[in-house]
Structure 1
Amino acid sequence: MKTEFWNWSDVRVFLAVLRQGSTLAASRKLGIAQPTVARRIEALEHQTGLTLFDRDTRGFRPTENARSLSPLAEVIEEAARNFAIKTRELAEQRPIRITAPGYFSDRAMEIFTEFSTLHPEIAIEFVHSIKLLNLAEGEADIAFRVSASEPDESLVCRKIGTEHFALYGGQSYADQFGLPKSLDNLRGHRFVTFKRNDVPDVLHNWLHQHVLPDQIVATFSEIDLMYSSIKAGNGLGLVHARWADTQDTLLRCFGNIEELSRPVTMLIAPDAYRRQEVKAFTKFFAPRYAAIFR
């Protein structure tokens, strides 16, 4: 072999001439000029150091070398076809998979609706999960996180707001026990909390530091169950303030507990961020969400 074989497109030309019997017929099949076909066959023979076709007035007749290489060329052809099919599949529009800490306010959902109206071709799929999904492993494309810890440096990060927390109770609890007016008035009240191993327990730990153990009457591993328990009047609980203030069934005890305030970040998996639809969503959503709470 005179040089290392590297031009895979010549295999396509080789098979066309082999099957059609002439460079003219192959050129029609491939949709390229006959002289180009002839040059590619000559280049392939030069690269391989083999005579692949005997030329005569009746066309190109494959040599024994050509017949020996034919099965391998067909393998390359099939691999190229499968490669093209796979690239088309990967390029097809996929939904943007989004995970969030259990809720979005109505105003935030309006941003999703506005984006979907402007881009009906882009689907959005909400992945409901209390635990923190692993973006690097493809469990979601975008995650909205409320956390004081630094995010994974491999992720694209946008800070889009600050989340505040406060104590809330239900109307029936307020009617029976009243509501504390400050952190100094927590004694004598009942509390419910949320705790599970795969979720940071910052709120749970804060509550344990500020009330006696026997004041905590229930601990839930599902956040929705804790919210329902607060609404039912079983006890007071720590809730996202912006969301809770939109709920008629929740009553705020006093102001935000500032030591629990956490930045809201929008994290995007690097592979997902290479997709144009994900970039478009990020550019659209982030400033609008930040403006809501500015």
Structure 2
Amino acid sequence: MKWNDLRVFSVVASAGSLSAAARELGISQPTVGRHIDSLEATLNKRLFDRQSRGYVLSDQGLELLPKVEAMERAAFAIEESSQSDLSGVIKLAIPEITSRFLGKRLLPLQKLYPGLTIEIATSNQFVNLSRREADIALRTELPSQGDLRTKRVMSTQAAVYASHQYLADNPQALSDARYNDCDWILPLKEVTSKQASSWYAQHIREKNIRYRCGSLHVMMDLALSGAGLILWTTGYAKDVPGLKKVSPAIPSQNRDYWLVAHSEALNQPRIRAVWDWLVELLDKEQHRFNS
């Protein structure tokens, strides 16, 4: 049984509908529904009557609710008594393209655990978690070796983007003519994923490539300046008002992201706390990557 399922159950019971619970929790309505379905399947009980006016607790739900509320009170008490003991350094290894996205969302973690110092290594290369080069890594591929814990936390899509100015000067960017008639900004081959590299080789002619960059952030700055088109993750692009999506999502560029940590490391309260916080954050933000 998952604690998150129980927590969502409590909020739905209070809010009376999936949509209201989703607003309170800051996650999508389908995610709320999945938590309820998961809990009902685990318990083999119908916890709500689905009615036109919302979700109403069934007799079995009414029986469960006070037990969950007692668990919540106990969890809050434990959290309050233990937060002051969570201190030290946490090393995160995050792909470069994801670092800016997460960097904008880490302040609540600092406020929740002020005793922690977060070190963020931005690299597209794997770190060795067994040698504790990082405590927690976010990866797009599952590791094949080591006593590691993994959790899929995010699925992303990608599309073609342009600045508003480039699009105004080059309206062909909105059609398939973009591949023959527009300027392109690509990453250097050594920082390109196999997934993206294959797509570039199939779609982008050498004569249309105006820049190759060793930094994905420089690619973004060039695109914003109007230098050309970029292939970019849709959820990350939503943080950049100056970019406009000019193509549908490209199925071949769908990616899964995994949190990875050494099993022993997760026995340390400060690492476990950050792991759990990241899982919650990325679940909350998943809706940004669905279109």
Sort the TM-score into its range (normalised by shorter chain): 0.5 to 0.7
2 CA distance for matches of 1:115 and 1:235?
36
Q: Which structure has the larger Rg?
A: 1
Query: Residue 152 of structure 1 aligns with which residue?
Result: 144
User: Which of the numbers 126, 129, 137 marks the counterpart of 1:135?
Assistant: 129
Structure 1, residues 212-268: CA drift from partner, whole Å, max 9, x if none?
221122211121221112112221111121111221221211221121010111111
Query: Residue 18 of structure 1 aligns with which residue?
Result: none
Query: Residue 64 of structure 1 aligns with which residue?
Result: none
1:135–1:268: 8 Å Cα contact kept in structure 2? yes
With 174-183 and 208-217 compared, the bigger mean Cα shift is at 174-183
Query: Residue 117 of structure 2 aligns with which residue?
Result: 123
**Residue 152 of structure 1 aligns to which amino acid in structure 2?**
S
After the TM superposition, which residues 178-189 of structure 1 pair with which residues of structure 2 at under 5 Å, given as runs?
178-183=171-176, 185-189=178-182
Query: Residue 274 of structure 1 aligns with which residue?
Result: 267
Equivalent pairs, count: 201
- Quote how far apart the aligned CAs of 1:198 are: 5.8
Q: Which runs of 5+ in 2 are unaligned?
A: 1-85
User: Which of the numbers 89, 107, 112 marks the counterpart of 1:113?
Assistant: 107
Structure 1 residues 199 and 289 mapped into 2: Cα distance closer, same or farther (>3 Å)?
A: same
2 CA distance for matches of 1:179 and 1:246?
25
After the TM superposition, which residues 133-212 of structure 1 pair with which residues of structure 2 at under 5 Å, given as runs?
133-145=127-139, 147=140, 149-154=141-146, 155-183=148-176, 185-197=178-190, 200-212=193-205
Query: Residue 96 of structure 1 aligns with which residue?
Result: 90
SS at match of 1:209: helix
1 CA distance for matches of 2:136 and 2:192?
18
2 CA distance for matches of 1:260 and 1:164?
6
**Residue 220 of structure 2 aligns to which amino acid in structure 1?**
Y
Structure 1, residues 263-293: CA drift from partner, whole Å, max 9, x if none?
1111113342232211122123203321221
Output the TM-score relative to the length of structure 1: 0.61
SS at match of 2:228: coil
1:179–1:253: 8 Å Cα contact kept in structure 2? no
- Quote how far apart the aligned CAs of 1:196 are: 4.2
1:220–1:226: 8 Å Cα contact kept in structure 2? yes
Query: Residue 32 of structure 2 aligns with which residue?
Result: none
Output the TM-score relative to the length of structure 2: 0.61
Question: Percent of counterpart pairs with the same letter?
Answer: 18
After the TM superposition, which residues 43-82 of structure 1 pair with which residues of structure 2 at under 5 Å, given as runs?
none
SS at match of 2:173: coil
Structure 1, residues 14-56: CA drift from partner, whole Å, max 9, x if none?
xxxxxxxxxxxxxxxxxxxxxxxxxxxxxxxxxxxxxxxxxxx
Query: Residue 283 of structure 2 aligns with which residue?
Result: 290
SS at match of 1:289: helix
